[in-house]
Each structure stands twice: as structure tokens, then as C-alpha cells.
Copies of this chain bind each other. A is one copy, B any other.
Amino acid sequence: MSEDRKQAAYFGAAPPFPISRAVRAGDFVITCAMGDRVFTFDEALYDEHGGVVSTGARLQEVTFGEEVHGTFKAVQESLALAGCTLADVVDCQVWLRDARDFYEFNRIFADYFEDNQPVRSVFRTDFMFDFRVEIKVTAYKPLYSTGL
């Protein structure tokens, strides 16, 4: 275990593209900024200039509330790869496509954190993809308690 602490561990990486879904570094686990599905470059639609215009038009198919739940599910899955849950989250970064979704987002957010109260940021932003919400979290789970 002492060896584990000397280097980062990457979870959910899909080589050759060098991104992980989650990484453990010391006592911390950090996830990617995630929407409600894992993006694969093959699924994307590109314009004539090579720009990404869509990952497949999911935007119309679900309600915003459903998308938030799907996004938390993706975050939970990423954390699970590294042996963590939302109860370990200490910092939560949130981005919304439309500021008017903030009220509903907050209602749903409250259901996912019963025992912990992470710090948080929420900003409106322009996404690369068909997401209305993206979430990136930092979890704190000291190695000696994970059994890894």
C-alpha cells in the first residue's frame, strides 16, 4: 500500500486517448467533468471545419431533471471505479447550459448529499457537447480506509 501512495492511479482510461474518468492522487480522487453519458469521439458529429457540433442529439430526448440524475449516475460510476461514493465528495463543480435550470438543479442536488456538505461552484457555460449540465467532483478518501 505504501507503494500506492507514490504514484497516481488512473481509472476508466480508454487508451489511446489519454483521459481517465477518475484519478486517485494520494488521499484524493478527482473525476472528469462529466455529462450524463461518457463521450466517445466516434459518436460525435463534426461540422465542415472539424468542429464538434453534437455527440448525438441527446439534448431533446430527456427532461433536465432526468439529465441531472443521469449525470449524477455517471459521476457515481466514475467514483466507484476508484472505490468512492458521493459521500466522500468534498468539492463539487457544476456547469449549466441555462441559468434558469439552477432552481431545479438545486432541488435535485440536495437529494444526493445526505451525510456530507461539499463546497461547490455553479456557473453557466458553453459546453462542447449536447449537455445541459456537467459535474466534476473531488473526493477525499484516505488510502488506509479503502482496502486498496
Q: Give A contacts to B, CB under 8 Å.
A: 5-8, 10, 13, 15-23, 25-28, 30-33, 41, 46-47, 49-52, 88, 90-91, 93, 95, 99-104, 106, 109-110, 112-114, 116-128, 134, 136, 138, 140, 142, 144-145
A123 to chain B: which residues have CB within 8 Å? 33, 95, 125-128
- CB of A93, distance to nearest CB on chain B (Å): 8
B103 and A18 within 8 A (CB): no
A51 to chain B: which residues have CB within 8 Å? 99-103
B23 and A26 within 8 A (CB): no
Closest to A93 in B: B121
Closest to A16 in B: B110
B140 and A25 within 8 A (CB): yes
